[in-house]
Structure 1
Amino acid sequence: MLTGRQIREARYLLGWGRVRFSQKTSVTQAMVAAIESSDGPAWLTKEQESAIRQALEEGGVEFIPENGEGPGVRLRKVDPT
C-alpha cells in the first residue's frame, strides 16, 4: 500500500506538478491533493494505486519498503553504460 507521503515525495522528485501527475494517472487534481494531505496510507482503489505506481515507476521512481523508519521513495539509479 502506498502512502500519501510516498506519492507526494515521488512527485516532487520527478518535478511533476499536480496537473501533469493527474494527466499521467487519470486521478483528479482534487484527489491528488486529498491523497497527499496525509502521510499515512493512501486509500485508493486497486486501479488508482496501480496507475499511480506505474506512472511514478515509469518516471524513474523506486519505492522503498518499510525499513524501520517507514516506507519511502528514491530515484532509480541509472546505468551509465
Structure 2
Amino acid sequence: MLTGPQIRKARTLLGWGRTTFSCNAHLTAALVTAIESSDGPAWLTDEQEASIRRALELAGVEFTADGPRLREDQL
C-alpha cells in the first residue's frame, strides 16, 4: 500500500509537478493533491494505486523498503 509521502517523494524525484504526474497516472490533479496530503496510507482504489505505480515505475522509480528511489539506470 502506498502512502501520501511515498507518492509525493516519487513524483519529486522525477521532477514532475502535480499536473504532469496526474496526466501520466490518468488521475485528476485535485485527486493527486488529496492523496499526497495524507500522511499515512493513501485511500486509493486498486485501480488508482496500479495506475500510480505504473506511471512512476515506467518513469524510473522503484519502491524499496526504504521508500521510493530512482532506479540505477535512471541516475
State the number of aligned residues: 74
Query: Where do 5+ consecutive residues of structure 1 fail to align?
Result: 66-70
CA deviation vs aligned residue, 1:25-51 (integer Å, no higher than 9, x gap): 111111100110122101100100000
User: Superposition RMSD on alpha carbons, in Å?
Assistant: 1.3
Amino acid at match of 1:74: R
- TM-score with structure 2 setting the length: 0.92
Amino acid at match of 1:34: A
Q: 2:36: which partner in 1?
A: 36
Q: 1:56: which partner in 2?
A: 56
Amino acid at match of 2:73: V
Q: 2:12: which partner in 1?
A: 12
- TM-score with structure 1 setting the length: 0.85
SS of 1:73 mapped into structure 2: strand
Report the Cα distance in structure 1 between the residues aligned to 2:15 and 2:32, rounded to whole angstroms. Answer: 15
Q: 2:67: which partner in 1?
A: 72
Report the Cα distance in structure 1 between the residues aligned to 2:6 and 2:64, rounded to whole angstroms. Answer: 9
Amino acid at match of 1:24: N
**Higher relative helix content:** 2
Amino acid at match of 1:25: A
SS of 1:10 mapped into structure 2: helix
